Every structure is written in C-alpha cells, then in structure tokens.
Amino acid sequence: MRMWNIDPKILCNKHLLGEHVEMHMFVGCINKGTSLRGYIDKNLVEVHNIHSRHEDLVNEMTSRNMSHKSILPDFKSWKEGNVLSENNLQDLTNRCQHCRERYNKYNG
C-alpha cells in the first residue's frame, strides 16, 4: 500500500484505481487498530492527508467517467507521515509507461 501523492491526472487508470483502493485499506487498518508504522517510516503514507487524497482521487475518477460508490469510512486521523512526492513521481514514471505518457502529456 502507498500514497503516491502526485497529481492524479498523471496516474494511469490502473494506478489511479489502485491508490484509491489503498486509501480505503489504510482506513481499514486504522479502524482495526493495525499499525501503519512501517508505511509511515517508509514514507508511504501521510495519515493526515488520507481523506483529502481520497477526494482528489475520486475527483479524477469522476473526470474520467469512472464510477465511484465507496464512501471512505470515518476514521481517527492524526498528523504523521511524509510522502516524498518527487521520488514517487520518478519511481512511477520509470516503472509505468502509461503513467509516463500521461506525465509527458500534462507536463510537456
């Protein structure tokens, strides 16, 4: 699980939907009392931004005419975590041709 924390327009459909699911998975862990320490320590999640990130992803899904029916459950948030967006952008565009093409499209 990870929060890419880059402009959702850059994400290919697979990564957009994947990150969306992972926001739900993070909330599920929080609500079950499962520690996110490993994800926090590896800069894979910003707990305090899960809700807003989910909203950003949903807005992009909607702009692509994707269906969204999964409301993010309530959860107790706290300020912790630091996702390294620039590193993630480089990682993602190196590993996914479709994300790289979308990045080039929106960033010429």
Q: Is pLDDT of 3 > 90?
A: yes
Q: Is pLDDT of 108 > 80?
A: no
1 in any annotated domain: no
2 in any annotated domain: no
3 in any annotated domain: no
Q: Which residues contact 15 (CB under 8 A, 6 or more apart)?
A: 4, 92, 96, 99
Range of the domain at 70: 8-107
Average the pLDDT over 86-95 and give the result.
97
Show the tokens assigned to 28. Answer: 């599920």
The number of distinct structural domains making up the chain is 1
60 in any annotated domain: yes
83 in any annotated domain: yes
CA-based torsion, 87, 88, 93, 95: positive or negative: positive
